[in-house]
Amino acid sequence: MRAWAWSIGVATAISAAHAGEPRDTVVIAVGAEPDTFIPPLSNSAAGYLVQDLIYEPLVESRFDCRLSYHPRLAKVRTGDDGRIDLTLRGYGAWPDGTPVSALDVRTAWDVIADPAYASPRIAYVDRIGQPIIDAPNRLHFQPPAPLDETTALSMATMYYLPAHLVAGLEPDALRDHPLARSPMPTGPWTLAEWEPRRHLVFRPNPLYRGPRRYRPHLAAVRFELIPEYETRILKLQRGEIDVLEGLRIRDLAPLRAARPDVTLHRRGYRFMDYVAWNLDRAPFDDLRVRRAFAHAVDIEAIIADQLTDETGERYGQPAVSTFTPELCDLRPDITPLAHDPDRARALLDEAGWVDSDGDGVRDRDGEPLTFRLVTNRENERRRRASATIQAALGEIGVQVDVDAIEFNAMMGRAHRRDFDALLAGWSAALFPDPSPFWTTGAGFNYPGYSDPEVDALIARGLATRDPAEAAPIWQEVQERIYADQPYLFLYWRDEVIAIDGRFQGAEPNVLHAYPDLHRWRVPAGEVKYGK
């Protein structure tokens, strides 16, 4: 699949930017392809990944315990009343020459706000409101209620769309628009080729108008679509790909032996796994049972088994919250429940679950203590954790049956809350907003957790604009939720990404697996693929 007509001349960009330097192609293995190139409609990690290449961001995010925002396509200013002003800097343009305007931002938010488009970001409209256009290059948001500044900025600076092409389109017409498969770039890269289920190739955008420092040094970025992890790691060991994220810890030593030229980068604690209990079903409606299960499962043993390498270096830590520990100023004072099977047995006895017939499974009122644990079969780490949990609970008289199903089927059951227990994971936000997970009725509140006091604390935390004043509120939110144990909190994992050592400027971080691809370069004499 070729991109639109304006990308035909992308090869000319090679001579236009950084002329004369050696140029190479980076080959990145990914497990899935984008669902769409229309950002407000995208609901996949693969979609977000490639959109970052195509579209010049309104602002540039950086992270050091908290997010900060810096001008890119727009300058941003916040007021004491929570108002957010965006001023476009004038260099942004679509490939047909139309300037990026305030109307483009408004058009994206029109899509987000209309339930007919089913944007996954629709809840944001209630938080920051719709943007108001002040001039062709200026607009502002006025949140209806006070809102944490970092959270508000992260929402307000997300999206824009070419209003001159898509404004007013009906939902089906927008989803089927050519932009969904062949986007108009405003950033340093353009989609040059897309062969579905095979690969995507991006090349420097010859029409990019941004600062020279953002213009790529590489000739191309090639994403190879390889669904099976085992195939991806084999291709990395053979030198057939250059970049692979999500490495299993036990693969690190063999990879170091096979590819000493590969650099292994640790990204930080962005990803967590958990077991959500369905609080509307027995026995999970009893806090004593939930605490018993937490005492029964040895989280440290899971970390030692799956997230520790052959030297004893750990790539995981116990989780006590959905707030990533990277938000260092928000870390709560929580001691994880200790691994104590005897305490677990005592709690179950107290709750009335005893083995009355001697068959090894506890029961109460004639009902056995048994449940089904759902997880996704594609994820070996979760399958192994499921088996560990099954065995640990079996030791205290609980029968657990594991349903390992396809990921999309698992997520369908999660959203319908059609499960007893669900072993899944989150990629954590880097700003403090737990409302999607823990407020009553929220879309990602899979356990069905509801506590009016926690709801009120979350609302107060989001309405507190000073991070120092908000920190104790967020710490209390985490402490209350952990005490209630709606999850069996498992672990945060430090993701490892492998990058061929010939690439300079490659610095993965907690924000992005391969950020700033425009900065990546290969020295003379090490170019592998050339143009």
Q: What pTM was estimated for this model as a whole?
A: 0.85
pLDDT greater at residue 313 or residue 51: 313
d(CA 485, CA 291): 7
Bridge partner residues of 504 (DSSP) = 521
Is the domain of 85 the same as that of 227?
A: no
Residue 248 lies in a domain: no
Is the domain of 110 the same as that of 2?
A: no
- Quote the pLDDT of residue 20: 60
Bridge partner residues of 27 (DSSP) = 222
d(CA 477, CA 456): 10
User: DSSP string spanning 6-33?
Assistant: GGTTTTHHHHHSSTTS---EEEEEES--
- Quote the pLDDT of residue 121: 84
Is the domain of 468 the same as that of 515?
A: no
User: DSSP string spanning 272-323?
Assistant: EEEEEE-TTSTTTT-HHHHHHHHHHS-HHHHHHHHSB-TTS-B-EEE--SSS
Is the domain of 301 the same as that of 438?
A: yes
Is the domain of 144 the same as that of 9?
A: no
- Judged by DSSP in three states, 267 sits in strand
- CATH number of the domain encompassing residue 61: 3.90.76.10
pLDDT over threshold 50, residue 425: yes
Q: How many residues does this entry show for the chain?
A: 531
Q: Which helix (H) or strand (E) holds 109?
A: helix 102-113
Residue 228 near residue 244 (C-beta atoms within 8 A): no
pLDDT category of residue 4 using cuts at 50, 70 and 90: very low
Residue 450: both structure tokens together: 């509801």
Is the domain of 94 the same as that of 131?
A: yes
Residue 218 near residue 26 (C-beta atoms within 8 A): yes
pLDDT category of residue 367 using cuts at 50, 70 and 90: very high
pLDDT digits (tens, 9 = 90+) for 78-92: 998 889 999 999 999
CB atoms within 10 A of CB 294: 23
Residue 413 lies in a domain: yes
Residue 32 near residue 163 (C-beta atoms within 8 A): no
pLDDT digits (tens, 9 = 90+) for 464-479: 888 899 999 999 999 9
Backbone angles phi, psi at 479, to 5 degrees: -65, -40
Mean pLDDT of the chain: 92
pLDDT over threshold 60, residue 1: no
Backbone angles phi, psi at 304, to 5 degrees: -65, -35
- Quote the pLDDT of residue 5: 42
Instruction: Compute the radius of gyration of the chain from its Cα atoms.
Output: 25
The listed range with the strongest mean pLDDT (223-227, 369-373, 514-518) is 369-373
pLDDT over threshold 90, residue 365: yes
Residue 279 near residue 449 (C-beta atoms within 8 A): yes
Burial class (CB in 10 A: 0-12, 13-18, 19+), 22: middle
- Which of these three, 130, 165, 200, is where a domain ends? 165
Q: Average pLDDT in the 132-148 region? A: 93
pLDDT digits (tens, 9 = 90+) for 230-244: 999 999 999 999 999
Is the domain of 391 the same as that of 370?
A: yes
pLDDT over threshold 50, residue 12: no
Q: Which amino acid is at 90?
A: G
Maximum pairwise Cα distance, the chain? 81
Query: For 10-24, 87-101, 311-325, 391-405, which range has the lowest pLDDT when averaged over its residues?
Result: 10-24
Residues of 58-86 as b/e, b for ≥16 C-beta within 10 angstroms? bbbbebeebbebeebbbbbebeeebebbb
- Quote the pLDDT of residue 19: 58
Bridge partner residues of 259 (DSSP) = none
Is the domain of 490 the same as that of 515?
A: no
- For 417-517, where are the alpha helices, taking DSSP H only? 435-438, 452-462, 467-484
Q: Average pLDDT in the 301-305 region? A: 95
Residue 321 lies in a domain: yes
- Quote the pLDDT of residue 360: 96
Residue 82 near residue 152 (C-beta atoms within 8 A): yes
- Quote the pLDDT of residue 166: 95
Q: Average pLDDT in the 183-200 region? A: 94
Is the domain of 51 the same as that of 66?
A: no
- Quote the pLDDT of residue 2: 39
Query: For 47-61, 180-194, 509-523, which range has the lowest pLDDT when averaged over its residues?
Result: 47-61
Q: Name 368's Cβ contacts closer than 8 Å, sequence gap at least 6.
A: 361, 362, 399
* Torsion angle defined by CA atoms of residues 427, 430, 431 and 433, in that order, rounded to the nearest 10 degrees: 10
Number of domains in the chain: 3
d(CA 245, CA 258): 17
Residue 256 lies in a domain: no
Is the domain of 480 the same as that of 530?
A: no
Residue 113 lies in a domain: yes
Residue 253 lies in a domain: no
Give the domain range for residue 202. 1-55+183-242+503-531
Q: Which amino acid is at 476?
A: E
Residue 203 near residue 13 (C-beta atoms within 8 A): yes
Is the domain of 192 the same as that of 287?
A: no
pLDDT over threshold 80, residue 407: yes
Share of the chain above pLDDT 90, in %: 76
Backbone angles phi, psi at 280, to 5 degrees: -90, 0
- Quote the pLDDT of residue 22: 66
pLDDT over threshold 50, residue 297: yes
- CATH number of the domain encompassing residue 453: 3.10.105.10
Is the domain of 209 the same as that of 323?
A: no
Residue 357 lies in a domain: yes
Q: Average pLDDT in the 197-207 region? A: 95
CB atoms within 10 A of CB 256: 14
Block residue for tokens 């405003």: 186
Tell me which residue of 102, 138, 108 sits closest to 125, measured CA to CA.
108
Residue 115: both structure tokens together: 């339930």
Residue 334 lies in a domain: yes
Residue 159 near residue 444 (C-beta atoms within 8 A): no
Residue 347 near residue 289 (C-beta atoms within 8 A): yes
Block residue for tokens 């950084």: 18
